[in-house]
Amino acid sequence: MALFLQRLVDGLAEGSIYALLALGLVIIYRGTGHLNFAQGEMALFSTYTVYQFGEWGVPIGIAVLLGMCVGFVLGAATEVVLVRPISKKSPFAVFIVTIGMFQLLNWLDGAIWGGQQLPSTAMGSKQVKFPSLFPSNPDDYFTVFGAAITWRSFCILALVLVIGAVLYLLFNYTKLGLAMRAVASNSESAKLVGIRTSTVLMFSWGIAAAIGALGGVVFAGLTTNVNQSLMFQVFIYASAAATLGGFDSPGGAVVGGLSIGVIQNLAAGYADEWVGQEMKVGVAFLVILAVLLLRPSGLFGTSKVERV
């Protein structure tokens, strides 16, 4: 029983990271109707800036806030400079643009910070030590029914739940949130009722990138390093989480992220002969496939009905 609870707790801790990035995907989709395949690399770029601020002597808390501001500017600028003009000509082209941003930002990370990093790993990607945002001492834990819960894992889970609650209130009880939903549903009708759609789209991408930056910082602190491949698998897990929960549901993104983390850890723990730690990404792909086949809108997403 204690072993099961331990794996459950570890899964919730990992799933919290996936949920943070999934929330960014949901915000962009709910506010603009687009999928941002560069979400992970935007988070990585902001995480590198947090590392740089730390190298300049800025305290980690302030560095994280500055990194989130960098993420917001990066997301907003991407929407204004690239996504907005291209989406008017071809909505499908946004898919290509975000993939291009994925490659560009990953290259930029290496070009800017490659020379400041520590020796290369076995994968050839250089890495640097990264401070943890939450208590990381091995002795900082408490036990529940025999399962050791670190304060870092507890704080990460609490952070995700708080952000999820804030986004729920944003989407349902604020003018900006309602405007984001209106623009995603029908941008032309939103313009007719006086909504400044361009501002809403810019804020959607900015907020999503800022939350993604926070997710990148938390994950880098969890692994104690940052490198160019840090967010690749995390983005896959976040995509599975958003697909499971529903791309238009912030609460679904949180539930989906936690569920993916738990499913992966239980599968790797009890079916290690078939899954193992190296094949956990396969679990995410299976979840995506199952959801798309059985319930394309996700567990908490809403199905769109088009009248002809």
Give pLDDT, residue 119.
42
pLDDT mean over 56-64: 92
- 232 beta partners: none
Whether pLDDT at 70 is above 60 = yes
* Location of structure tokens 């770029």: 45
| Chain mean pLDDT for the chain | 83
The tens digit of pLDDT for each residue in 241-254 reads 999 998 888 888 99
- Cα dihedral 80, 187, 247, 227 in deg (nearest 10): 0
Q: Phi/psi at 277 (nearest 5 deg)?
A: -65, -30
d(CA 208, CA 73) in angstroms, rounded, equals: 11
Which range has the worst mean pLDDT, 37-41, 198-202, 264-268? 264-268
d(CA 183, CA 11) in angstroms, rounded, equals: 35
pLDDT mean over 261-272: 76
In the chain, the amino acid numbered 84 is R
The tens digit of pLDDT for each residue in 75-130 reads 999 999 999 888 877 777 888 899 999 999 999 998 998 744 444 444 444 555 78
pLDDT mean over 269-291: 69
Ordered DSSP codes for 134-147: S---TT-EEEETTE
Whether pLDDT at 274 is above 70 = no
Handedness of CA 278, 262, 12, 238 (dihedral sign): positive
Whether pLDDT at 144 is above 50 = yes
Whether pLDDT at 306 is above 70 = no
pLDDT mean over 267-277: 62
Q: Give the residue from 22, 2, 6 showing the smallest Cα distance to 262.
A: 6
Give pLDDT, residue 140.
72
Give pLDDT, residue 203.
92
Whether pLDDT at 73 is above 90 = yes
Q: 127-141: b or e for each residue (b if 16 or more CB lie within 10 Å)?
A: bbebbbbbeeeeeee
Residue 153 vs residue 184, higher pLDDT: 153
- Residue 93, CA distances (Å) to 30, 100, 145 in order: 18, 11, 52
pTM, 2 dp: 0.86
Residue 273 vs residue 4, higher pLDDT: 4
